[in-house]
Chains A and B, each alone.
Chain A
Amino acid sequence: MAIFLLRRVLQLLVVLWGGATILLFIFYSLPSDPAVLLAGGSTGRAPNPQVVENVRRNYGFDDPVPVQYVRYLGDLATGDLGESYKTKESVNSILARRLPTSLRLAFWAVIIEAVIGISSGMLSARRRNSIADTLTTSAAAIASAIPVFVLGVLIKQVTSVYAFENGWPSWAYFPGDGFGDDQQWYLGVIPSAAQAERLIQPAIVLAAVGTAILARITRTSMLETARLDHVRTARAKGLSESRVQRRHVLRNAMIPVITVLGIDFGTMVGAAVLTETVFDIRGLGSQIVQSAGARDLPVVLGLSMAVIAIYGFANLVVDMSYAWFDPRVRLVGRR
């Protein structure tokens, strides 16, 4: 187990180094010059050449790329993610502010995805070819077909704009402008009632596609598992159907489901750009996209490193959970 963990941590470090290197060199190969943008080129005018030169010198853009690369890796190794070219805020500080928001949103989206996706998948599998199966399968197909952006805008228009314009009762009105200024969370992730009003819409939107996919995967996985010999044996031994389903079908069918959930969580933390944009939530994804547009390299790199680390951690947890779901799985460093 310890060797397994060590091996995975080392793998993650290599992935982080690779990610930093690739992102850095992609940035350097872009046609756009960050010095030009910082010198005023982003506000629709030709920047002054002397100002561009000053910016280039002040920010170290005139150093050779390998020098900048080594400098960045050195800072990264000490945990210093640098500071934003644009706002001069430390990237560590941006990360400290944005990461909890992304984690909370992803956490609740995954909860919704797991509860609704797995239960509807189970229902579908156990009542195969029934009306319930048809309904859940159709709903899953529709949910996975609607683009997140469209779903978000529609929900916001109805529960925020339409509700306000038509004087809906307060319980039916949901503010659509982010998590608010005075956020209240208990134990880090449990929202207060007021906070829940601001969480529920984006969490549902973010979870929508994943929920649909998870329902399909759960259904397929359970149906496949149900056909396996050990399930037939369990039934032959006289176990009740609910016990067969719970202990021998569901548990074995969970491995692909857990894999998807783990990947989804990692993705939601760093790539919930559309949901964050529609609901004005200041998470990692929207910040990375904005910073990439502004060629704010330290922010893009620093936050991307965090996303990669979280993704890697989520996968590690998933791998470790395999052993719990299926005792035949053993976590070893090397076969």
Chain B
Amino acid sequence: MRSRSLRAGLGAGLLSLLLVAAGCGDSGEDSGSGGGGGGGGKGGSGAAEELAQVDCGELEYDADAPSGGTFTDYAYLSDSGTNTSFDPGVVQTLSESQITTALFDGLTDFDFSEKCAPELKPGVADSFEANDDATEFTFVLKEGIEFSNGDPVLPSSFKKAWERAGSDEIGSAYGYLVEFIEGGSAVLEGTEEELSGAVADDEAMTLTVTLASANADFPAIVTHPFFSPLTDEDLEAFSDETPGWGTAGATIGNGPFQLDSASEDEVVLVPNESWAGNVYGDTEVKLDELVFKTTIDVEGAYTAFEGGEGESAPVPPGKYGSARDKFPNNSIDDPNLGTYFFDIGTESEQLGGDENLKLRQAVSLAINREEINDKVYEGSRTISTGITPPGIPGFEEDLCEFCSYDPDKAEELFGEWEAEGGSLTEPLRLDFNEGGGHDDVAQIIQQNLEANLGVESELAPVAEDYFVQVAEPGGCELCRSGWYADYPTYGNFMLDLFGAASIDGNNFGRFDNPEFEKLIADAGAETDPTERGKLYADAERLLLNEEVVAIPLNWYTGAQVFRDTALNIDQPPLGIMLWERVAVEG
């Protein structure tokens, strides 16, 4: 599908295609990398406060927290089996992105002072602006910013880093992000080395980027670590093949920290004296040393923390309740920009089509989301009222009309569907990947459908390559999905999960609706952030209320506990800690 769309090369289709899998699925664990979306400057999605519909509170920060000391983190690299690299060009997991974002600063970054109203601000860029149709962006870089090795951060530092990260030799899982930019597809395919759509003028300190298609969210997208700058030294050393863990990848950055050492057991960061500061106005790092410990598994990390080791740890599944009681300093109830839902296969004979709309509505209303949250996640998650979570500019509360548990209404709609001639010839198939609690979720759904509608369903767990199998034609009837934002933009959810160009990708239900496509294409080209948010919300209403092709279940929350001596550990919803602010007492 991706290739087909590339050949088509037009409008929203291409735009969506470029976004295929830009976010991360979730698998109940970590995924993706940081970034943020929003806006700032012409064509950005600034004025986020106009869009925010919910109040998640303000980011807590004590500027007077003591400086110095070592913070040892067991939370993020708590499953060394998933660690690959924290090189910005290839970093895949949210855990490893904690290191990457501590080492590298991008052109722009988000100010999460109002947690659910992130505001995009210039980072290394002094300013940025778009042309009228959001196809070209000009970033003017600040003078005097340096990497930790003393090299200047120049426009070419970004351009060359993007070319390297998107190249076929590097084979980055996020390599496709380069396709946002004109000429990016050729770089990814290996037919070109230079990114024709990016023009770097190191004297004028400008980076002009022409996009493959209109996308007003581009300044937000470049907050993703993939778009970090690199030194010539690292470019020379790590451009021939996929980089690896620690010093086998690029590590010389311009962020608040610099790498001190990296081994299989731990990664040690120390303050970068050359750091220029962040979008919050901080210019100094609190800690003397930040240590990321790797452990073999999550349980081991949590037990080590219980045994007095470190300042933070992950909470393993099944221990949210006890961890919340035992360690009041935790992020278990903090919102994260992730969403858990089931896709409905639009090509399914049993569930797809206009004739089965009432059945889909009934199925969604028959699922007890509270029961799932209580039994599987110990009440730690937030019951969702849509796909897109709060904290995304444009988010609207209670957008979904069929996302509450209403067995009476479900039964009524099911009866109407049957009266109109609808009938199920075989059990509905519940597709999900094994582990991560997804089997428990599927079992509750199975029981709900049986109890409330008398509908039989069968569990269809997949052990290997679920996300490939479920993306194939016929792979999804009622299938588990999830997403963790790469950057806080509405498009990161709508385009990647439901755009036609994401069919064969993360659009598991193979939803292909012209009206939806027009809405997301218009949104992508809309430079006014308020209007863009409204267009995306309209698109989500269409898919959830008029078409009912997805069943939102919950939004993710944090899963870390902290020692009482850990300060300033309040984290933005994107899940990336502001490590420069973190402090330890005593």
Contact = CB atoms under 8 A, between A and B. Distances in A.
Interface string A22-48: 000000001111001111111111111
A321 interface: no
Contacts of A165: 306
B81 A46 contact: no
A47 B82 CA distance: 16
B465 A43 contact: no
Contacts of A42: 82, 92
B464 interface: yes
Contact of B265 (A59, A178, A276): A178
A88 interface: yes
A290 interface: yes
Contacts of B174: 40
- Most chain B beta-carbon neighbours within 10 Å: one of A38, A84, A280: A280
Given A31-B464, A88-B248, A97-B264, A51 B171 contact: yes
Given A44-B27, A51-B172, A176 B307 contact: yes
Contacts of A46: 20-21, 25, 467-468, 470-471, 504-506, 508
- Most chain B beta-carbon neighbours within 10 Å: one of A41, A51, A157, A163: A51
Nearest to A165: B306
A36 B28 CA distance: 19
B93 interface: yes
Contact of A44 (B81, B242, B245, B467): B467
Contacts of A97: 264
B241 A38 contact: no
Contact of B300 (A30, A36, A280): A280
A156 B21 CA distance: 41
Given A38-B173, A48-B20, A161-B303, A282 B265 contact: yes
A44 B25 contact: yes
Given A43-B93, A87-B245, A54 B307 contact: no
B127 interface: no
B255 interface: no
Contacts of B249: 88
A145 B26 CA distance: 38
Interface string B161-182: 0000000110111111000000
B85 A55 contact: no
B58 interface: no
A87 B303 CA distance: 26
Nearest to B265: A181
B30 to A, nearest CB: 8
Interface string A156-167: 110011011100
A161 B327 CA distance: 14
Contacts of A86: 83-84, 244-245
Given A46-B468, A87-B83, A181-B266, A277 B296 contact: yes
Q: How many A residues are at the interface, by size bracket?
A: 35 or more
A59 B300 CA distance: 33
A282 B295 CA distance: 9
B300 A277 contact: yes
Contact of A176 (B32, B303, B470, B506): B303
Contact of B468 (A41, A163, A175, A294): A41
A33 B303 contact: no
A43 B296 contact: no
A57 interface: yes
A50 B189 CA distance: 7
B465 A88 contact: no
B304 interface: yes
Interface string A59-99: 10000000000000000000000001011110000000100
Contacts of B83: 86-87
A221 interface: no
B173 A39 contact: yes
Contacts of A238: none
Nearest to A289: B81
A290 B468 CA distance: 21
Contacts of A38: 171, 173, 242
A194 B309 CA distance: 16
Interface string B18-35: 001101111111111000
Give the 4 A-B CB pairs with smallest separation, nearest first.
A88-B244, A44-B25, A40-B173, A44-B27
25 contacts: A41-B468, A45-B32, A46-B468, A47-B21, A49-B2, A50-B189, A51-B173, A54-B168, A58-B169, A58-B171, A87-B248, A88-B242, A88-B243, A97-B264, A163-B307, A164-B308, A165-B306, A175-B304, A177-B300, A277-B297, A279-B300, A280-B300, A280-B301, A282-B264, A293-B81
Given A46-B504, A88-B242, 15 more contacts: A44-B27, A46-B505, A47-B173, A50-B175, A87-B248, A161-B303, A161-B307, A176-B304, A181-B266, A277-B297, A280-B295, A280-B300, A282-B265, A290-B80, A294-B82
